[in-house]
């Protein structure tokens, strides 16, 4: 995730002309009969604004496909997880909401937006094609399913040597403290919403997260605010591994970096999702609804999967979907449900307690 703002206006006249003046395609099965009216209203608005934490490179194929189909301009603002959340809150407080969609990998922050009244209710006609855990109150939709894993430098640790279970990883860290000291990376949960989600989910879903945190502390773990930063240090050999990293990125990185390996637990692999919501007071609400439907459709999901973001559906034409991803990580994929349980660690006292214990564990 990048914490700097990037705004992209996708405004190709050729794409707009290709989309045509009317929606000539048949209404898909399961869509309401008057859906063409939503499409025409969205095209009349002509623009949709996204606040996101997703790198443009991963989203480009989906955005291009949407513009090709409807001729609607997209302003794409890569603000990072905390930035997207804070911007939406601030604009709502000033009654000047600029975003139509907030699309973020910080699942807990997205549920906070919905719980505190910043999300519009919209029942997408694509809901029947999604797993039950991927929808929250017709307000938030999971658009991807992405494993949480570990990257490592294959020049420092061979594939055969690398631990494949949580217990083995803890033992490996404890047994090799001198060799690993100052060479292990992980997310900084205070600076990264994604890191906070990954770590607190582990607390809820496993019995040994704090054992892992203490083992990382014993080797003087170095913490970072983005997956990209960790990747650079592992490729260079500055660090030999990075724990609880975004696995969808890692699966692509290993294709281009011969000294980079990726591992997933054969006992447990958590998976997060990038969640999309329509903002309350969206300036282009119909265009926002149309984009959400497209992101969840087979075409949109195939485009996301082609960009390296595995599909939450099981019928995409390109890339990984939820079934093939499960096979790729060893069959123990556990998606994080989109539910109110994500609010557990958002209460101030709970957050303070987590950070206190985290800082004590990593010293």
Please say whether the beta carbons of 111 and 342 come within 8 A: yes
Beta carbons within 8 Å of 153's beta carbon, 6+ residues apart: 234, 235, 237, 239, 240, 241, 259, 260, 261
Identify the helix (H) or strand (E) that includes residue 146. strand 146-153
Q: Does this chain's domain 7-145+273-323 share its CATH topology with 146-271+342-362?
A: yes
Give the phi and the psi of residue 80 in degrees, each rounded to 5. Answer: 80, 170
pLDDT tens sequence across 101-122: 999 999 999 999 999 999 999 9
The residue ranges of every structural domain in the chain are 7-145+273-323, 146-271+342-362
Nearest to 362 by CA among 40, 10, 354, 39: 354
How far apart (Å, rounded) are the C-alpha atoms in residues 146 and 322? Answer: 9
pLDDT number for residue 6: 44
CB-side neighbour CA atoms (13 Å) of 150 = 24
Instruction: Report the chain (363 residues): mean pLDDT per 10 consecutive residues.
Output: 42 42 62 95 98 94 97 96 94 96 95 97 97 97 97 96 95 98 96 92 94 98 93 97 94 93 93 98 98 97 96 94 94 94 94 96 92
SS3 140: strand
pLDDT tens sequence across 331-347: 889 999 999 999 999 99
How far apart (Å, rounded) are the C-alpha atoms in residues 311 and 329? Answer: 15
Question: What CATH number is given for 146-271+342-362 in this structure?
Answer: 3.40.190.10
Q: List Cα–Cα distances, 81 to 56, 110, 148, 329, 336, in angstroms.
A: 14, 9, 17, 25, 17
DSSP state of 139: T
The reported pTM is 0.88
Give the phi and the psi of residue 323 in degrees, each rounded to 5. Answer: -75, -50
pLDDT tens sequence across 155-181: 999 999 999 999 999 999 999 999 999
pLDDT number for residue 29: 82
pLDDT tens sequence across 291-329: 999 999 999 999 999 999 999 999 998 999 999 999 999
Q: Which single residue is written with the structure tokens 């999309």?
A: 276
At CA 187, angle to CA 256 and CA 216, rounded to 5? 105
DSSP state of 321: B
Looking only at the bridges linking them, the beta strands covering 73-78 and 7-10 are antiparallel
pLDDT number for residue 1: 40
Count of C-beta atoms within a 10 Å radius of residue 200: 21
Question: What CATH number is given for 7-145+273-323 in this structure?
Answer: 3.40.190.10
Buried b / exposed e across 162-199, counting CB within 10 Å, b at 16+? Answer: bbeebeebbebbeeeeeebeebbbbbbbebbbbbbbbb
pLDDT number for residue 302: 97
Pull the structure tokens for residue 204: 């809820």
């Amino acid at each position: 995730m990048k914490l700097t703002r990037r705004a992209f206006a996708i405004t190709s006249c050729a794409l707009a002309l290709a989309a045509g003046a009317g929606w000539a395609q048949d209404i898909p099965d399961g869509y309401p009969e008057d859906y063409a009216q939503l499409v025409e209203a969205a095209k009349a608005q002509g623009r949709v604004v996204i606040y996101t934490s997703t790198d443009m490179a991963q989203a480009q194929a989906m955005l291009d496909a949407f513009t090709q189909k409807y001729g609607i301009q997209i302003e794409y603002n890569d603000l990072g997880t905390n930035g997207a959340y804070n911007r939406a809150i601030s604009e709502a407080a000033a009654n000047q909401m600029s975003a139509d969609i907030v699309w973020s990998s910080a699942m807990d922050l997205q549920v906070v937006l919905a719980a505190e009244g910043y999300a519009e209710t919209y029942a997408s006609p694509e809901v029947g094609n999604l797993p039950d855990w991927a929808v929250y109150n017709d307000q938030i939709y999971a658009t991807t399913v992405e494993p949480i894993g570990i990257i490592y430098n294959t020049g420092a640790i061979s594939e055969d040597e690398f631990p494949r279970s949580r217990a083995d990883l803890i033992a490996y860290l404890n047994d090799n403290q001198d060799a690993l000291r100052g060479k292990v990376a992980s997310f900084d949960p205070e600076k990264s919403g994604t890191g906070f989600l990954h770590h607190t989910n582990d607390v809820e879903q496993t019995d040994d997260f704090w054992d892992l945190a203490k083992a990382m502390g014993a080797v003087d773990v170095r913490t970072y605010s983005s997956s990209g930063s960790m990747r650079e240090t592992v490729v260079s050999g500055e660090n030999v591994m990075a724990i609880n990293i975004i696995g969808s990125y890692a699966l692509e990185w290993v294709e281009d970096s011969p000294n980079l390996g990726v591992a997933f637990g054969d006992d447990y692999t958590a998976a997060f999702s990038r969640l999309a919501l329509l903002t309350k007071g969206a300036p282009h609400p119909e265009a926002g609804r149309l984009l959400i439907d497209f992101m969840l459709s087979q075409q949109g999901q195939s485009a996301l999967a082609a960009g390296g973001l595995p599909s939450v559906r099981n019928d995409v034409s390109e890339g990984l979907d939820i079934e093939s991803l499960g096979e790729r990580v060893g069959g123990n994929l556990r998606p994080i449900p989109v539910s109110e349980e994500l609010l557990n660690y958002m209460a101030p006292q709970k957050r303070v307690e987590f950070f206190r214990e985290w800082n004590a564990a990593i010293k």
